[in-house]
Every structure is written in C-alpha cells, then in structure tokens.
A and B are shown apart, each in its own frame.
Chain A
Amino acid sequence: MRTDGFYYDGLSSHRVQVEVYLVSGGVMIHGPGVDIKAPLASVTLEEAVGGGRSVLRFADGGMCAFDDAPFADQVSVAQGKRVGLSRISRWERSLFLSIVALLIVAAVVAVAVRYGVPALSRRVAFIIPLDVEKRLGEEVLAALDKVVFKPSGLPEESIERLSVAFHDVAQGTSIGDNARILFRKGGRLGANAVAIPSGIVVMTDELVLLAQDDWEIAAVMAHEAGHIRGRHSMRHLLQNSMTALIVSAAIGDFTSVSSMAAAAPTLLINAKYSRDFEREADAESARYLLSRGVSWRKFADMLERLEADHERKIKEKSSQAELKRILESLDEVERKKERTSRSLNELENEKDRISRSLDELESEKNRISRSLDELGNKEEPLRAEQKSKESILKSLDELESKRDRISRSLYELKSKKETILGSLDELESKKEMILKSLNELESEEKSSQAEQESEKKSSLAEDYLSSHPPVQERIRELESIFRQDGS
C-alpha cells in the first residue's frame, strides 16, 4: 500500500515530495534525498482537528504528511489500533451529534440552574461563617441608610412593643441572637420590609402605620423571619453569581461579547429564584400565624393592603405629574396671551403715531402747495426762483411717495392687528380647553381613587412586581397549602 505525501526532516523548513509505503512491520518513505524505514512502534499517527491531512511523526523529529484517509486507516490497523476518526473527532464532525451535544448542554445548564444551584447555595449559605455574613449585612444596611432610609419617626413605646413581638416571631431562626429588627422611614420605598444578610430586618414606618393591628405587622415579620431562617439573602447572592458563572461558561468565553448574551437569561433565572424565596417565606408566615392561633388570612390581608398602597402611590405620582404638566401649559398660555396683548397695544400706538405723521405730512403738503401758488402768482422770472420751484416740486413728489408708503404701512398694521386679535381668540379657546381637561383630570382622579385597578405602573412597581409573584397568586398558593377558611 502506498500514497503520496511530503516529508519534513525537522531540521530545516525545506519540504520534500515523497512516496509513503506501508510494508510489513514498518513505514517506508522514498523521495529525493529521503530514504527512511521506520518500525511501526516508533511512529505516531496524528489526525487533524476539524479535518485535513494526517501526519506521521518519527522518533528523530521528522514528519510526514499525507492526505489519504484509507492509508491512515491501514496504518492504524497495522499498529493494532482502532480504524477511522477518533471518537471525539467523529462527534465534532457530525452535525447530528453536535446538535445532540447542544441539547445536552442546554439540558445540563437548565438542570444545574433549576436544582443544582439552589441546592448548592443552600449548603454553602449555611457553611459561611457568621462573621462574613455580619460584615456583609452591615455594609448593605449602611448603603440602604445612605440612599433610601431616614430615621424612624415612630414613638418609642411602639418600637419597643414591636421589638418584643419580633423577638417572639424570630425565635428559632438559625441566626439565633443576631436576628434583630430596625425601624426606618421608608422614603421612596414606602410601606415595606426587607431582610438583609446576618438576620437584620428593616421595617418602614409606613408599613407600621398601614397595618390595622399588630398581628398584621407580626405576619410581615414572620415572612421576613422566614427569609432569615432560610438564609435567603445569602443564598440569593450565591445563586446569582453561580448562575452568571454557569451561563457564561456555557455560552462562550468569559471575556467575549457572549457574556452580554449571557446577561439576559441570567436575569430571568434570578427573577425565578426570588419568586421561590417569596413563596417559602409566605408559607413561614402563615405557619407562624397558625401556631399562634391566628388565621393566616391576616397575612393575606396585609399583602393586599400593601399592594393597594403601592398602586395608589404610583397612581398619585403619575396623576400628579399630569396635573403639573397641565398647569404649566396653562401658565404658558397666560403668558403668551399677555405678550400678545402687549404687542397689540404697541401696534395701536404705532398706528396712532403713523396717523399723526400722516396728518403732519398732509398739512406740510398743503403749505407747500400754497407757497407754490404764491410763487406762481408773483411771476418773477428769476432763475433762482425757478430753481427753487423745481426743488419744491421735487420735494412735493417725495412727500407724495412718502404718504403712499405710510398709508401702505398703515394698512399692513391693520391686517397685523387683525391677525393678532385672531391669535388672541385662539389662545383664549386653548385656555378654555386646558381648563376643561384640568376639570376632567380632577374628576378622573376622584373616580380612580374609588377603583383599585391601576393601569400605569412606574419603575417602582415593576421592581416590586418583578421580584415578587403577584399577590393574588401568592394567596392562592397559601390557600392550596393551608385550608381555605384560614384557620
């Protein structure tokens, strides 16, 4: 068996066209200046990744390349090895198998993200030393205090009363003594409560004021205590970084453009995780209430009230902005109207002035005509007088044309006045329209306060809704776990 190929001795970049023979027990290479016989055991056969020529390497560093797959197979057979492409090359080169690989990648990522990451992060979250978590919690709290929260305005005694209630709720959390509650004015967070790492719960004044009784507040505390017990904030942090790692490792290199492509699925997955955590904490809250002989409906009521409060706030914000816009445009119309009136007055004045100057011109003309007549009557044939007569006639002409010009501009002024009057009318009607829409808005606001459904959602609400499942869904979930009647 023979084939054609090239030989490279490994000493210079010179290549030699050769014939390659497979003989019993060895490989023979013949070409100009090349005459090699090597035993099969000393030769290694290499295939090209992705396809291309095969390479025989010799012990002395020489190399022979040829483009003949059957010949390569024969060499493999003679060496007692498997025939054909290596397993991995066959896998890479088959479209079907590549697609299978793709599907397996997708499935592995999906399973890892759905089950592996949560399980792993649960393990890790409970191993992480409390010191580390404490430091993290303090950093988060400091940041929140700086950006959103303000000191609480609640009276001392209610803070004390609620802290005692929290102590009852938080008993049995794995964080132990470190669980504590803090009260802050929520600012743009409004009525809200958050659990941050190391067992700190921050509750806003607005939430305390919104609740109808202490059980509703305790329900929220129990929900947050559920987050603490499950170390949710730590797990959330871990899960987010783990998914980011997995997704970007799966689809491309860490530093390439594909990490941008990785961001989108990561966000979706993270939203799913926080929904799971909310459900867990909801169940904890319901369980706590039931253990104290209170209906879990207390929690559902509080949730609904919180949602209504958020929506009201959003609506207020948007209708306030609308109102402000309309009032501003009304001001603008007023200002425009004033300006127009002023310019109308100016126009009137101008007209008067022009009429006056027209009168003056008229009288001047008369005077000149008279003096011309007088001059004519005297009939003194003096050249000088003739000259002055001519000049007077000329100035008369000029006066005539000036008069024409002035009457023209008077006419223009008249039409200008008319248009200004017209625009004034327009402004008036515009103002009326704005006032009407203002009235409409006010009545709409009144009616919308009655109905609870809101259509416009600001970014605040979207933040709230994206990380939390819809309240109705959460309550239904609780209903399915606990009994309908709430006892």
Chain B
Amino acid sequence: MEHKVSFRGTGKEYFGIWIVNTLLKIVTFSVYTAWAKVRKRRYFAGKIFMDDEPFEYLASPRALFRGWLVAAAAIVAYTCADYFSKMLGIVISLIIMAFFPWVVVKSRIFNFRNQSCRNIRFGFAPKYAEGYRVMLGWPLLVPFTLGLLIPYVFYRQKKFLVENSSYGTTPFRFTATPREFYRIYTTLVFKVVLFSLVFIAVFVGVAMFVPKQVGIYILMFLSVLPFFLVVVYFKTAIANLVWNSTELGGLKFQSSMDVMDMCWLYFSGGVAVIFSMGLLFPWASVRVMRYRCERLSVHSQEGIGQFIADTASASVGAVGEEIGDLFGMDVDFGF
C-alpha cells in the first residue's frame, strides 16, 4: 500500500513564526537562537505528514542553548585568533576541519534522536572511525585521482549516513551502487560541456547584437545560469537517487523531483526574496518543502504500525549541532 507524504504548512503561518523569531533574536542579541530554531523545526516537522501522522521535533531549547554557548565561544576564539595572527587562525581552522566529521556525526545524532513519528524516535549510531574515513580520509585521496574518485566518495558518505540511521530499532538500508553515482556524474559532465557550448554561443550573440546597456545585465545573468542549473541538477539527482535507494524494514521510498521544477522553484523564490528585501523568504522555503514532500511517496506491504522503539539509547548534547550551524558546515538534516 502507498503511504502519502505531504507538507501542510503555509507561507502565512511560517511568516508569523519567522518574523517573531527574527525580532526576538535581535532584541536578545542572538541568545534566543536556540528557542527560535526549536520553534522553526517543530513547525516544519509538525507539518510533514505521512498517512495523516505528523512528525515531531523534540529537542529541548536548553540543550541547544548550551551547545550554542560552546559554539559561540569557539567562533569568538577563532575570530580573535585570526585577527591577531594569521598563522594561529590557519592552525585553528585546520583543527576545526579535523573536527568536521565529528561535528557531522554529533549533529545528526542530535537531530535524529530528537525527531519522531508516531511517538517512535529516529536514531543515528555510527562508528566515529568510519565517519572519519568517509568524510576526511576518502576526500583527501580525491586530488590524487584527478577527481575521478568524487562519485565514489559521495556514495560512501551517503551510504554511511543512511545505513547508520534508524527508526526505532529498525535500521535504514541503502541499496544504491557506486555505478549509479558515476552515472549521475557522467551526465553532469556531459551537461556541463553542452551548457558551456550553448552559453558561449548565446554569450557571443548577445555581446555582438544587443546594446551594451542592456547586454551587460543579460551577460551577468547568463554567466551565473549554467552554474545554477548544474548545481540544481546535481542536488536533485542525488536526492532522488538516495531516496530511491533507501529502505526501512518493509518500507520503500520513491522520490521523483524534476530538475526543471526545482530550477523554477529556486529561481522564482530567489527573485521574490531579493525584490521583497527578504520578506518572502518564508513563502519561498515553504514552497520548496511542499514540492519535496509532494514528490516523495512511501510504499509497504504490511503498513507502518510494527516498528519497535529503541529504549536503550542515551541522550546526546547539542554542541556538534551548534558548531556545525555557526561555522556554516553543510550538515545534512532530513527525516
């Protein structure tokens, strides 16, 4: 049977939450950040429904606040060090880089443990050594293979993130093969070449035949466009592949996001946000979320009532989560 996934939030609802969060963050000099984050995530989780059952975000703002304090102290130390001595700044950023896999793992543990559906929590329980291998070890080999290893590294990272996740006591399985990742990359390379040729032709055409005053803006737009298309294609294709290769017990996932749809969502959303001085940001984020859920479906033979809770796992701190957030590390957050 199919279990319908849907996002039932609206731009208007999120606008209220977002603007109140913003105001409180400003007047409390960012101290409210932890509470704001919890409200935002509780909103988004609570509006994602699977078979009319919403998800829940359960993290306590206090835990996040403690993590935020540690992360803020780290960022202040880093900034000061960088200001007074370039060398020290480099040393510290190397240390932070060495911590990156730890941060990703900690952050995912925190967010998964605090995410639930039907009163059963998700989980993430990897080996740290494996985390270092896929997020630091393999990537360091990439330059020596002229980049040919990139798809494989991506495959290993996604496999690591999915296979160590669980819902209750049931682990997720990852069925993708490296071949599928390489296929996305070859398509990507092909698209890059094709786009480059087309855009060089259009570029030259515009430069020659369109008056300079208008032409310069068209050219600026055109020079960002291929990059934008390629990035959206890559993200969409990888997201589809990862969902379609993920299984949980008897559940199979299917994601059918379309690259052109995503391009349009991001492009029109970005334009709207810029021209509204940021005010349409809630509307744009809700729109993307709704599309993602719309294109995701879950199938199973025997329903979703038989998952067993994992009552053994201990609670975890939010330091990793907050360091990842403040230092702008791209930490994966999904359900």
Is A13 within 8 A of B19, CB to CB?
A: no
Is B17 within 8 A of A49, CB to CB?
A: yes
Q: Which of A194-214 contact B (CB under 8 A)?
A: none
Q: A256-270 toward B: CB 8 Å interface, digit per residue (1/0)?
A: 111011101100000
Q: Is B211 an interface residue (CB 8 A)?
A: no
Nearest-CB distance from B174 to chain A (Å)? 21
* Bound form: Cα–Cα A15–B307 in Å: 11
Q: Is B156 an interface residue (CB 8 A)?
A: no
Q: Is B273 an interface residue (CB 8 A)?
A: yes
Is B304 within 8 A of A257, CB to CB?
A: no
Decide yes or no: A251 and B46 within 8 Å by CB, A95-B12, A105-B23 being known contacts. Answer: no
- A-B contact count, CB below 8 Å? 134
Is A102 within 8 A of B19, CB to CB?
A: yes
Q: A237-255 toward B: CB 8 Å interface, digit per residue (1/0)?
A: 0000000001001111011
Q: Is A93 an interface residue (CB 8 A)?
A: yes
Nearest-CB distance from B236 to chain A (Å)? 17
Q: Is A14 an interface residue (CB 8 A)?
A: yes
Q: Is B119 an interface residue (CB 8 A)?
A: yes
Nearest-CB distance from B329 to chain A (Å)? 10
* Bound form: Cα–Cα A265–B279 in Å: 14
For B120, list chain A residues within 8 Å (CB).
8, 10, 12-13
Cross-chain contact of A92 among B20, B117, B274, B328 (Cβ < 8 A): B20
For B39, list chain A residues within 8 Å (CB).
49, 88, 92
Is B119 within 8 A of A10, CB to CB?
A: yes
Is A105 within 8 A of B118, CB to CB?
A: no
* Bound form: Cα–Cα A87–B333 in Å: 29
For A9, list chain B residues within 8 Å (CB).
119
Is A132 within 8 A of B84, CB to CB?
A: yes
Is B46 within 8 A of A12, CB to CB?
A: no
Query: Which residue, of B46, B168, B276, B277, has the highest number of chain A Cβ atoms within 10 A?
Result: B277
Q: Is A51 an interface residue (CB 8 A)?
A: yes
For A92, list chain B residues within 8 Å (CB).
13, 16-17, 20, 39
Q: Is A101 an interface residue (CB 8 A)?
A: yes
Is A50 within 8 A of B309, CB to CB?
A: no
Q: Is B261 an interface residue (CB 8 A)?
A: no
Determine the residue in chain B with the shortest Cβ distance to A88.
B20
Q: Is B47 an interface residue (CB 8 A)?
A: yes
**Chief secondary structure at chain B's binding surface:** helix
Is A8 within 8 A of B84, CB to CB?
A: no
Cross-chain contact of A252 among B118, B281, B305 (Cβ < 8 A): B281
Q: Is B189 an interface residue (CB 8 A)?
A: no
Is A12 within 8 A of B305, CB to CB?
A: yes
For B278, list chain A residues within 8 Å (CB).
250-252, 258, 261-262
Is B309 within 8 A of A12, CB to CB?
A: yes
Is B14 within 8 A of A258, CB to CB?
A: no
Is B306 within 8 A of A12, CB to CB?
A: yes
Q: Is A482 an interface residue (CB 8 A)?
A: no
For A50, list chain B residues within 8 Å (CB).
9, 13-14, 16-17, 43, 46-47
Is A93 within 8 A of B274, CB to CB?
A: no
Is A14 within 8 A of B305, CB to CB?
A: yes
Is B26 within 8 A of A255, CB to CB?
A: no
For B190, list chain A residues within 8 Å (CB).
none
Is A257 within 8 A of B270, CB to CB?
A: yes
Nearest-CB distance from B89 to chain A (Å)? 14
Q: Is A108 an interface residue (CB 8 A)?
A: yes
Q: Is A62 an interface residue (CB 8 A)?
A: yes
* Bound form: Cα–Cα A52–B26 in Å: 28
Determine the residue in chain B with the shortest Cβ distance to A246.
B26
Q: Is B133 an interface residue (CB 8 A)?
A: no
Q: Is A104 an interface residue (CB 8 A)?
A: yes
Nearest-CB distance from B218 to chain A (Å)? 19
Nearest-CB distance from B208 to chain A (Å)? 18
Q: Is B260 an interface residue (CB 8 A)?
A: no
For B26, list chain A residues within 8 Å (CB).
105, 108-109, 246, 249-250
* Bound form: Cα–Cα A49–B14 in Å: 10
Is B274 within 8 A of A15, CB to CB?
A: no
Is A49 within 8 A of B274, CB to CB?
A: no
For A14, list chain B residues within 8 Å (CB).
118, 305-306
For B309, list chain A residues within 8 Å (CB).
10-12
Is A257 within 8 A of B46, CB to CB?
A: no
* Bound form: Cα–Cα A460–B91 in Å: 41
* Bound form: Cα–Cα A48–B44 in Å: 11
Q: Which of B279-296 contact A (CB under 8 A)?
A: 279, 281, 284
Nearest-CB distance from A11 to chain B (Å)? 5
Cross-chain contact of A261 among B14, B118, B119, B273 (Cβ < 8 A): B273
Show 10 A/B contacts (Cβ-Cβ < 8 Å), sorted by A. Answer: A13-B306, A13-B308, A15-B118, A48-B46, A97-B16, A98-B15, A132-B83, A257-B274, A258-B278, A258-B281
* Top-6 shortest CB links A-B: A251-B278, A8-B119, A92-B16, A13-B307, A14-B305, A49-B42
